[in-house]
Amino acid sequence: MMVFLNGRFLPVGEARVSALDRGFLYGDGIFETLRVVDGRPFLAAEHLRRFRAGAAFLGIPLAWSDAELAGVWQELFRLSHTRDGVLRMTLSRGPGPRGYSPRGAGPPTLLVTLHPAPPTTGAAAGWRVVTSRIRGTGPRMLAPYKVCNRLPQILARADADAAGADEALILDEAGRVVEGASANVFWVTGDELWSPGPCEGALDGITRRWVADHCRKRGWTVREGTLPLEQVRHAQGLFFTLSSLGPVEARELDGRPLPRWPGFAELRSAYEAALRTL
């Protein structure tokens, strides 16, 4: 596996990051994950905008232009002999002195990796979902960005693993649904789709935005907000959105079967078509 690290393409076994890097020490950085199909990173412009917005919010300089980053991606495709997979860009503040202060840190560390696309067999069958013991996803001011510190999501994912489930729901302190461990969440109530957003503490997901826009174009009502878990349990359908897999339907929540929303099949087909054209 070849990676790009600070201006060089290297075998992954030769890539080295400083022991003083603040991304490792404090999670002081951001990342983006993009699905790549036939050499086209899906919704690349939107991912790059969020990547730059996150870097600006954290005050981490990003010296690479969008065109230069796209050139890095293409070279990774060539070196990896693949044009399909999952691309990840990680930017940290770089090495620095001991302590929380970012003063004197740098230069930033930029790592770009390309991974095989995840298998879709389980996703096609629908996910088994459990409710995590974790409450909250961290400070809401960070919700618009993919910051490197993902401990609430990691612990929620561990809850899913322990239960033999595919995904876990994270609630806020009031017991309202926020997001999945690795994905944004939608549910159908009556003739409306609901999805928590940054105001509720959920990541401002790129695939979530595409799905919401598509549903509105179809004439479906989409509300950004949340509801208590007990109300979500009685939804007419539940599904998740994430960059690596797209929309994924849930078939079970906490051991109870869920209804299958009839509109999901059309939504999934539209997403698959967009992957190959956008």
Paired with 239 in beta bridges are 186, 249
CA atoms within 13 Å, Cβ hemisphere of 247:
28
Asked if 57 and 145 count as a contact pair (C-beta separation under 8 A), the reply is: yes
The catalytic residue positions are 33, 146, 179
| Residue whose token pair is 């009685």 | 234
Asked if 47 and 206 count as a contact pair (C-beta separation under 8 A), the reply is: yes
Per-residue DSSP letters for 147-183?
BS--HHHHHHHHHHHHTT-SEEEEE-TTSBEEEESSS
Asked if 254 and 131 count as a contact pair (C-beta separation under 8 A), the reply is: yes
The Cα-based distances of 112 to 158, 200, 206, 234 in angstroms read 26, 30, 19, 42
How far is the C-alpha of 54 from the C-alpha of 89, rounded, in Å?
A: 12
How far is the C-alpha of 251 from the C-alpha of 273, rounded, in Å?
A: 23
Look at phi and psi of residue 226 and say left if phi exceeds 0, alpha if psi is from -120 to 50, else beta. Answer: beta
What would the two tokens of residue 270 be?
């539209």
What would the two tokens of residue 31 be?
């990342």
Strand order in the sheet with 29-37: 8-11, 2-5, 109-115, 85-92, 29-37, 40-41
